Amino acid sequence: MSQVSQPRILLGDNPFDVRPEHDLLHDVRRDVEHWSETQFFQVWSPQSNAGAFIHVGRWPGDVDLWWAQVIAMLPDGTLLVDRSWGRAVDHRGPATGNLRVECVEPLTTWRVRFDGAGEPASLAKMAEGPVGASRAAAFSFDVELRAAAPVWDMHGALGIENLSWAAHHHTQGLYARGALKVEGYSDIDIDGVAARDHSSGPRRLENFGGLHFFVVVFPDSGRVANAVISWGRDGEVGHRVFTVQQNQRCEIGYEVEMTGLAELGTHQPREVVMNLGGERPRTYRGEWMHGYTLSLLAPNVNVNGVAHAEEFDPLLVTQGAFRVVADDGEVGWGVIERDYRSSMLPAPEMR
């Protein structure tokens, strides 16, 4: 099935007709080779200049065992980096020894709790190698997330099914309320915005070259914008799609491009331009606030930091919190992700 190419408008409080049970853990498909399930959250407080990253998924060798990457982003630029393991206690979300993810009300409300420790690191240190198993500082958080817009269904937006890296992929912008406690620091409020996604299905990355992705929440208007651009190892873009949701109106378009990545150790360029077509051309401009770097190895092994020595030409994930100004002047905040095979860098051009 080919990708839809004509812009579309959907209406309502559930424009993609997402079934509530799809927000819960999915039934394990032991009969499907390379089947996987992952969830991601990023929380950011513009007032505190602090937040948290959570990425959790099923281990390929034992799909009932969950791994979790958790990173605290502190106001002084420090990162606290943790990796943990465990088994879910119920169908409402993953869990490890340090982390509990709970879908409180499908499609609308989540709670994410963490109590553990992480290795202090910088962005430059994460570019040098794996991070998360040396000296540590204790930290914890408890965050409630509520929907800023309806759940976005990638396959419904693209009009195709069963991409090589996810047969099911949902994304959502949210509002966050919570606190971050860190050894040696005063308590940090992390009220602000958040983004999440949830994927499942066979995950095959051998032909996957990279990805641009963003989710931005504009609190004043309630607008949420998100986009995905992906390409193969040959550099050819396979899919482009963006969505802007506001007041139960969902605009879907297929003309979108974004600034690329030049440097792992600094995430330069930090001024990111997002051009969206659709009903009318518009430009969003993002300013980097905080970030972290990860590696994704075959067959779905997720590492904190750059794992150059673990695999030939690994997929490198750069992600972080951005302040975004829309073409109408409204200010939002969110997550921007720029992922590349190491052989493709530097690649600062629009893609």
**Percent of the chain having pLDDT more than 70?**
96
Whether the pLDDT of residue 223 is over 90: the answer is: yes
Asked whether residue 294 is domain-assigned, the answer is yes
Taking the C-alpha atoms of residue 215 and residue 145, their distance in angstroms, rounded to an integer, is 15
Asked whether residue 1 is domain-assigned, the answer is no
Asked whether residue 98 is domain-assigned, the answer is yes
**Using 50, 70 and 90 to split pLDDT, how confident is the model at 168?**
confident
User: Are 156 and 10 in contact, with CB atoms under 8 Å apart?
Assistant: no
Whether the pLDDT of residue 2 is over 60: the answer is: no
Q: Which domain holds residue 112?
A: 6-348
pLDDT, position 263: 97
Asked whether residue 275 is domain-assigned, the answer is yes
Q: What is the mean pLDDT of the chain?
A: 95
User: Are 79 and 123 in contact, with CB atoms under 8 Å apart?
Assistant: yes
- Give the tokens for residue 301: 């092994």
pLDDT, position 279: 86
Asked whether residue 291 is domain-assigned, the answer is yes
Whether the pLDDT of residue 174 is over 60: the answer is: yes
Asked whether residue 245 is domain-assigned, the answer is yes
Asked whether residue 158 is domain-assigned, the answer is yes
Question: Which residues sit opposite 82 in a β-bridge?
Answer: 70
Q: Quickly count: other Cβ atoms within 10 Å of residue 349's Cβ.
A: 10
Q: Which residues contact 182 (CB under 8 A, 6 or more apart)?
A: 72, 74, 80, 137, 138, 139, 188
Taking the C-alpha atoms of residue 32 and residue 30, their distance in angstroms, rounded to an integer, is 6
pLDDT, position 303: 98
pLDDT, position 157: 87
Taking the C-alpha atoms of residue 348 and residue 268, their distance in angstroms, rounded to an integer, is 8
Taking the C-alpha atoms of residue 306 and residue 308, their distance in angstroms, rounded to an integer, is 6
- Give the tokens for residue 314: 């690994």
Taking the C-alpha atoms of residue 302 and residue 68, their distance in angstroms, rounded to an integer, is 9
Q: Tokens 């695999």 belong to which residue? A: 311
> How many domains does the chain contain in total?
1
* Phi-psi sector, 12: left (phi>0), alpha (psi -120 to 50), beta: left
Asked whether residue 105 is domain-assigned, the answer is yes
pLDDT single digits (tens) 266-296: 999 999 999 999 888 999 999 999 999 999 9
Higher pLDDT, 340 or 204: 340
Statement: the pTM of the whole predicted model exceeds 0.75 = yes
Q: Which CATH number covers residue 207?
A: 2.40.370.10
